[in-house]
């Protein structure tokens, strides 16, 4: 109970915090995923990005660029065009890097079993670099990650290092990666819904069987004599222990 209350407190604090990301809100392509997880009693999201194509101006000697805070020359969570990169390069006098970063999601989980379920969903959806970490205070974090990234330098101290044809080629590659990224996000959402629905059905079925079993035992006790009722109660206790052992064995089959 204490662990559950602590998890609820962590969830409340996290979801009530101000979003300090550059965008300031959840990306449109993953709002459904974030909503499903945050509506669950077992999870809440701590950070997320649907995937993006960005042009970054690195270390620069150009004071105008630094003053204008233009280290991010271009960013989109959808496909990009060649003109986007060309315009970004024209605005830079530093070291420009072109990047594609796939979908990433960090989720805090109530129990390790919940994290393992989410990890299975992620791997099944193509995010095979996903993993689980457990902090010193018992925080269980499940990270959904992928490896199909892209990072290419475009200029050095304001001098463009690549041709126009190569820029066009990079745009095609990045856009293909974005398309695949969105496909994996869709698969993740479908697998997540299926897994959570199956888990809910399993819990409901277990509770129904338990309630039915208790009802039968109580009915039998009222019909038996005091001695028989006592014996029936002992048998029921043993039966519960056997069921517990059987359930425990099922975990390892």
pLDDT per residue as tens digits for the range 55-65: 999 755 554 44
Residue 80 and residue 244: Cα distance in Å, rounded?
57
In a domain, 101, yes or no: yes
CB environment 49-84: b (16+ within 10 A), e (fewer): bbbbbbbbbeebeeeebeeeebeebbbebebbeeeb
The confidence score (pLDDT) of residue 3 equals 62
**47 and 172 housed in the same domain:** yes
In a domain, 206, yes or no: no
**69 and 164 housed in the same domain:** yes
Q: Looking at 75-127, list the stretches that DSSP marks H as alpha helix, in order from N- to C-terminal side.
A: 82-90, 112-124
Which residues have CB under 8 Å from 138's CB, separation 6+?
3, 6
Of 208 and 134, more confident: 134
Whether residue 47 has pLDDT greater than 50: yes
The confidence score (pLDDT) of residue 219 equals 46
Whether residue 231 has pLDDT greater than 50: no
What is the maximal distance between C-alpha atoms in the chain? 96
| For range 123-135, the mean pLDDT | 94
CA-to-CA separations, 177 to 54, 64, 86, 139, 186, in angstroms, rounded: 13, 33, 20, 32, 14
**40 and 162 housed in the same domain:** yes
Whether residue 134 has pLDDT greater than 50: yes
Average pLDDT, rounded, for the chain:
79
pLDDT by residue (tens digit) across 97-122?
999 999 999 999 999 999 999 999 99
In a domain, 83, yes or no: yes
Whether residue 217 has pLDDT greater than 90: no
The confidence score (pLDDT) of residue 105 equals 96
Whether residue 67 has pLDDT greater than 60: no
DSSP state of 52: E
- For the full predicted model, state whether its pTM sits above 0.75: no
In a domain, 78, yes or no: yes
The residue to which tokens 């991010």 are assigned: 72
The confidence score (pLDDT) of residue 162 equals 94
Looking at the structure of the chain, the number of domains it has is 2
The confidence score (pLDDT) of residue 76 equals 95
Residue 151 and residue 79: Cα distance in Å, rounded?
16
Residue 216: give the domain boundaries.
212-250
- The CATH number given to whatever domain includes residue 38 is 3.30.1960.10
**157 and 58 housed in the same domain:** yes
Least confident of 3-17, 82-96, 183-197: 3-17
Whether residue 161 has pLDDT greater than 80: yes
């Amino acid at each position: 109970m204490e662990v559950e209350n602590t998890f609820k407190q962590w969830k409340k604090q996290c979801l009530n915090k101000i979003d300090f990301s550059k965008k300031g809100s959840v990306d449109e392509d993953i709002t459904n995923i974030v909503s499903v997880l945050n509506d669950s009693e077992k999870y809440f999201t701590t950070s997320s990005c649907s995937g993006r194509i960005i042009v970054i101006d690195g270390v620069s000697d150009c004071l105008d660029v630094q003053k204008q805070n233009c280290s991010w020359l271009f960013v989109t969570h959808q496909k990009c065009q060649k003109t986007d990169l060309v315009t970004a390069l024209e605005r830079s006098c530093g070291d420009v890097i072109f990047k594609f970063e796939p979908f990433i999601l960090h989720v805090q989980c109530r129990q390790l079993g919940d994290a393992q379920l989410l990890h299975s969903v992620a791997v099944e959806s193509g995010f095979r670099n996903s993993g689980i970490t457990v902090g010193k205070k018992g925080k269980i974090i499940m990270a959904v990650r992928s490896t199909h990234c892209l990072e290419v330098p475009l200029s050095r101290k304001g001098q463009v290092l690549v041709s126009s044809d190569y820029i066009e080629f990079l745009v095609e590659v990045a856009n293909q990666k974005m398309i695949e990224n969105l496909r994996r996000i869709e698969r993740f959402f479908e697998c997540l819904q299926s897994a959570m629905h199956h888990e809910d059905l399993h819990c409901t079925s277990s509770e129904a069987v338990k309630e039915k079993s208790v009802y039968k035992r109580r009915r039998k006790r009222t019909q038996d004599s005091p001695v028989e009722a006592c014996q029936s109660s002992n048998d029921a206790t043993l039966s519960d222990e056997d069921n517990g052992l059987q359930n425990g064995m099922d975990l390892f089959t």
